[in-house]
Chain A
Amino acid sequence: MAARFWRTGGGRCGRLNRSPVVLAALSAVLLLAPGALRAQTPAPAEPKPAAGSTEAPGEIDPRQIQVPPPPFTEGIFPCTQCHDGKTVKVNTTRRKLTDMHDDIVLKHGPENRWCLDCHSAEHRDQLHLVDGTLIDFSRSFLLCGQCHGDKYRDWKVGVHGKRTGHWNGEKQYLLCVHCHNPHSPHFKPLKPLPPPVKPADIQAYEGGKP
């Protein structure tokens, strides 16, 4: 089952439609400004996961935990906008992408990893696990958890990752991909906010005015 989605040579080659509206998505999940998060309406998962491949249990909702939609680049989802099997033909040959998605630098694990190791070639709006199970982008933590089991375990109990909202009630949780760009997962350095004023430089003003 697994081999169906990856490493099978399809041999079909497709010319990519470069229309600005139809941004194709071989690898859709990119970190993005939070504003765009909510703008995305996850398209209905079509087609449905192959018969017999039930999604692994999520186990993240012991106490009403909400996960925001995945941080897609604007306009990139659903992938089937372009990858509908007609406009863009499926090409399962391992290659460097040049026509489209050439902005994605894959810096994640082994050198020979590529798009279709995680993205499903047949069901473009979904991802697949190593056993071929199809999952929605909103459940990508199942995919990450295949290799990062320790982190996944901690994430499920709220230790790895960030929870916001109520400590004793409704919480919001982030997906792995909200903090780690799946194509280049190392957490990016930040500019620190200004250091505190040294005691010698603190001036006390009467009435709050200089």
Chain B
Amino acid sequence: MSENPKLPVLSPSSNEPECGSRRSFIQAAGLTAVAAALTGCGNLSTEEFLQHNFRELSKDELKEIIARLEKEYAAKFGKKVTVGNTPPIPGVVFGYALDLSRCIGCRRCVYACVKENNQSRDPQIQWIRVLQMDKEEGVNIQHADPYYNPPEVPQEGHFYMPVQCHQCKNPPCVKVCPVKATWQEPDGITVVDYNWCIGCRYCMAACPYGARRFNWGEPHLPAEDLNPVTEYLGNRPRSKGVVEKCTFCIQRTRKGLYPACVEACPTGTRKFGNLLDPESEIRYVIENKRVFLFKEELNTQPKFFYFYGV
């Protein structure tokens, strides 16, 4: 090409060598583009850059990726980190219920969640937000205060309403994702492929519950605080520029354990179980208690239910 100043054009009379040079030109251009993209995207490895969407990966590819991630995390944190890929349990759709009559707003759940799910400590990321509400106003977001800090809770005249991902059956966040980096799993958990997310934050704008969080800065997580038992679609360490959210502790619940927030709550406000099991606690709550769905009118169909236990 260098000896020919003209651009290569495809003519009916093109012979083999010309065709070959055109192909090599396109290949060279492609490699250059990859190289430019790699340098432009910071310190992404080639494997990471060329990685496909989680749902398109073959078993072998996923195995390789998980091995790579485990190696990366071990190097970064100086300890062994496992990245699981636990499949959903057939016949299970997770549901959550929260007793508004019993929550005292102590925020034990918030910090248990941060510890379990490896959120960035600085800049601070928390998946659960506890709202202090006026009893006189009822569930009125205009009277919600997430920054309350009295010496003791509960405060007279207030009730507390923790908000986290509602794992909607009709999730607006999934609809708006331009790259399909977030989707709903068969057990009803909406997950994010952190390696596929481009950080456009459309999902955050779409979520009516404010449940998604963005890593504006490089997440800072001290190695001693890292929970080394992680899940690819759950609590593995995230990087700057990706969105994350509550997964009902996918790394715990798919193994049969309760989510960390349920275990941490000192008042037993939080209930969790299989919506398809008529004997489950969650079904008892839905069938026997006064239950309401937050922003029900938006037709998001949450699998997170608030109820009054008394």
Q: A: which residues have CB within 8 A of B?
A: 62, 154, 157-169, 174, 179, 187, 189-198, 202-209
B272 to chain A, nearest CB (A): 6
**Which of A160, A196, A197, A206 gathers the greatest number of chain B CB atoms within 10 Å?**
A196
Across-interface contacts of A194 in B (CB, < 8 A): 107, 149
A34 CB, nearest partner CB in chain B, Å: 11
Which residues 207-236 of B have a CB within 8 angstroms of A? 216-221
- Say yes or no: B271 contacts A159, CB within 8 Å: yes
Residue of B nearest to A62 (CB): B279
| Cα separation A37 to B239 with both chains bound (whole Å) | 42
Chain B residues lying within 8 Å of A193, measured Cβ to Cβ, are 106-108, 110-111
User: B44-52, B118-126, B169-177, B194-202: which lies at the A interface?
Assistant: B118-126
Interchain CB contact under 8 A, A160 and B107? no
Say whether, besides A159-B284, A205-B122, A207-B218, A167 and B258 are in contact (CB < 8 Å): yes
17 A–B contacts from the bound complex (CB under 8 Å): A159-B271, A159-B281, A163-B258, A164-B262, A164-B263, A179-B266, A191-B106, A192-B106, A192-B148, A193-B106, A196-B110, A197-B124, A203-B123, A204-B217, A204-B218, A205-B218, A208-B217
In the complex, what's the smallest C-beta–C-beta distance from B29 to chain A, in angstroms? 33
Question: Which of B61-69, B136-144, B150-158 lines the interface with chain A?
Answer: B150-158
> Closest CB-CB distance, A37 to chain B, in whole Å?
15
| Cβ 8 A contact of B256, one of A157, A158, A164, A169 | A169
Does the CB pair A192–B107 fall under 8 Å? Answer: yes
Please determine whether A154 and B309 come into contact, CB atoms closer than 8 angstroms.
yes
Contact B219–A208 (Cβ < 8 Å): yes
**Least CB separation from B123: chain A residue:** A202
B152 touches A191 (CB 8 A): yes
A208 touches B122 (CB 8 A): yes
- Report the separation of the CA atoms of residues A208 and B77 in the bound assembly, to the nearest whole angstrom: 13
User: DSSP majority for the B interface?
Assistant: loop
- Residues of chain A contacted by B280 (CB below 8 angstroms): 167
B258 pairs with A190, CB closer than 8 A:
no
Q: How many residues of B contact A (CB 8 A)?
A: 53
**Partner among A168, A190, A192 whose Cβ is within 8 Å of the Cβ of B149:** A192
A-B contact count (CB 8 A): 121
Q: Which residues of A contact B149 (CB under 8 A)?
A: 192, 194-195
Inter-subunit contact A202/B124 (CB<8 Å): yes
Q: Which of B122, B149, B265 neighbours the largest number of chain A CB atoms within 10 Å of its CB? A: B122
B309 contacts across to A, CB distance below 8 A:
154, 159-160
Do B150 and A192 touch (CB < 8 A)? yes
A158 near B123 with CB under 8 A, answer: no
Contacts of B178 in A (CB 8 A): none
**Is A179's CB under 8 angstroms from B217's CB?**
no
Does A190 contact B106, Cβ atoms closer than 8 Å?
yes
14 other A-B residue contacts (CB within 8 Å) besides A162-B266, A162-B267, A209-B220: A159-B99, A159-B288, A160-B309, A163-B268, A167-B253, A167-B258, A167-B272, A187-B267, A190-B106, A195-B147, A196-B110, A196-B126, A202-B124, A205-B220
Q: Are A162 and B124 also in contact (CB < 8 A) when A157-B284, A190-B106 are?
A: no
Residues on A with beta carbons closer than 8 Å to the beta carbon of B168: none
B residues near A167, Cβ cutoff 8 Å: 253, 256-258, 272-274, 280
**Residue B129 is within 8 A (CB to CB) of chain A in the complex:** yes
B300 to A: closest C-beta gap in Å: 23
Residues of A close to B153: CB separation below 8 A: 189-192
Chain A nearest Cβ from B225, distance in angstroms? 12
Q: B271 — nearest CB in chain A belongs to which residue?
A: A159
Q: Which residue of B lies closest to A207 (CB)?
A: B218
Q: B165 on the interface (CB 8 Å rule)?
A: no
Using CB atoms, name the residue of chain B closest to A155: B268
A199 → B minimal CB distance (Å): 10
Asked if B250 is at the interface (CB within 8 A of a chain A CB), the reply is no
A190 CB to nearest chain B CB (Å): 4
